[in-house]
Amino acid sequence: MSTPMPTTTRAALDVERIRADFPALHQEVHGRPLVYLDNAATTQKPRRVIDAVSRFYEYDCANVHRGVHLLSQRATVAYERARTTIRKFIGAADSREIVFTRGTTEAINLVASSFVRPRLEPGDEILITGMEHHSNIVPWQLLCAATGAVLKVVPITDSGEIELDRYEELLSDRTRFVAVVQVSNALGTVNPVKRMIEIAHARNIPVLVDGAQAVPHARIDVRDLDCDFYAFSGHKIYGPTGIGALYGKREHLLGMIPYQGGGDMILSVTWEKTSYAEPPHRFEAGTPNIEGAIGLAAALDYLDSLGLDAVAAHESELLETATAAVLAIPGIRLVGAARHRAGALSFVMKGVHPHDIGTILDSEGVAIRAGHHCAQPVMQRFNISATVRASFGVYNTIDEVQRLVDGLHKVKEVFG
Amino acid sequence: MSDMRELYQEIILDHNKRPRNCYVMNCANKSADGHNPLCGDTVKVYLRIENGIIEEISFQGAGCAICTASTSLMTESVKGKTVEQAKDLFDEFHHMLTGVAAEQGVELGKLQVFEGVREYPVRVKCATLAWHTLNAAMKGEEKVTTE
Domain extents for chain B?
Answer: 3-139
pTM of the model: 0.93
| Domain hosting residue A320, numbered range | 15-33+307-415
Peptide bond into A33 cis (omega under 30): no
Which of helix, strand or coil describes residue A332?
Answer: strand
Q: With cut-offs at 50, 70 and 90, classify the pLDDT of residue A242.
A: very high
The answer to whether the Cβ–Cβ distance between A415 and B13 falls below 8 Å is: yes
Chain B residue closest in CA terms to A351: B17
What is the dotted CATH code of the domain comprising B3-139? 3.90.1010.10
pLDDT at B103: 63
Residues A313 and A275 in one domain: no
The mean predicted confidence, pLDDT, of chain A is 95
Position A44 in a domain: no
Residues A277 and A380 in one domain: no
Residues A278 and A163 in one domain: yes
CA distance B44 to chain A (A): 15
pLDDT at B2: 57
pLDDT at A9: 42
The answer to whether the Cβ–Cβ distance between A352 and B65 falls below 8 Å is: yes
For residue A210, what is the domain's CATH number?
3.40.640.10
Q: Which of A10-24, A87-101, A339-353, A381-395 comes out lowest in average pLDDT?
A: A10-24
pLDDT at A3: 40
What gap in Å lies between CA A137 and CA A365, rounded to an integer? Answer: 34
The more confident residue out of B145 and A53 is: A53
The answer to whether the Cβ–Cβ distance between B65 and A386 falls below 8 Å is: no
Which of helix, strand or coil describes residue A25?
Answer: helix
Residue A353 CB contacts under 8 Å (≥ 6 apart), including other chains: A386, B63, B64, B65, B67, B68
**Residue numbers in A near B40 (CB within 8 A):** 371-372, 376, 379, 385-386
Among residues A258, A274, A305, the one where a domain terminates is A305
- In chain A the first and final C-alpha atoms are separated, in Å, by 39
Q: Give percent of chain A with pLDDT exceeding 90.
A: 89
Q: Which of B4, B13, B126 sits opposite A360 (nearest CB)?
A: B4
pLDDT at A2: 43
Residues A73 and A168 in one domain: yes
What gap in Å lies between CA A303 and CA A297, rounded to an integer? Answer: 10
- Catalytic residue list contains A374: yes
Residues B116-128: pLDDT tens digits? 999 888 899 999 9
Residue A380 CB contacts under 8 Å (≥ 6 apart), including other chains: none
With a cut of 70, say whether residue B89 has pLDDT above it: yes
Can you tell me the mean pLDDT for A162-176? 98
DSSP calls for A41-107:
T-----HHHHHHHHHIIIII---SSS--SHHHHHHHHHHHHHHHHHHHHHT-S-GGGEEEESSHHHH
Burial of B107 (0-12, 13-18, 19+ CB in 10 A): exposed
**Residue numbers in B near A354 (CB within 8 A):** 64
Please count the structural domains in chain A: 2
Can you tell me the mean pLDDT for A251-266? 94
Q: Are A53 and A294 spatial neighbours (Cβ–Cβ below 8 Å)? A: yes
Question: DSSP label at A198?
Answer: H
Pairing of strands A32-33, A28-29: antiparallel
Can you tell me the mean pLDDT for A41-62? 98
**Residue numbers in B near A416 (CB within 8 A):** 13
With a cut of 90, say whether residue A165 has pLDDT above it: yes
For residue A327, what is the domain's CATH number?
3.90.1150.10
With a cut of 60, say whether residue A10 has pLDDT above it: no
Can you tell me the mean pLDDT for B49-68? 94
Q: Which of A371, A410, A415 sits opposite B40 (nearest CB)?
A: A371
Residues B2-56: pLDDT tens digits? 578 889 999 999 999 999 999 999 999 999 999 987 777 889 999 999 999 999 9
- How many cross-chain Cβ pairs, A to B, lie less than 8 Å apart? 56
Position A366 in a domain: yes
Q: Give percent of chain B with pLDDT exceeding 90.
A: 72
Phi, psi of A388 (to 5 degrees): -95, 130
pLDDT at A7: 42
**Residue numbers in B near A410 (CB within 8 A):** 1, 4
Position A9 in a domain: no
What is the SS3 string spanning chain B? CHHHHHHCCHHHHHHHHCCCCCCCCCCCCEEEEEEECCCCEEEEEEEEEECCEEEEEEEEEECCHHHHHHHHHHHHHHCCCEHHHHHHHHHHHHHHHHCCCCCCCCCCHHHHHHHHHHHCHHHHHHHHHHHHHHHHHHHCCCEEECC
CA distance B84 to chain A (A): 32
Q: With cut-offs at 50, 70 and 90, classify the pLDDT of residue B131.
A: very high
Which of helix, strand or coil describes residue A7?
Answer: helix
Distances (CA, A) of B64 to A342, A358, B1: 28, 11, 19
Pairing of strands A175-181, A125-129: parallel
Q: Give percent of chain A with pLDDT exceeding 70.
A: 97
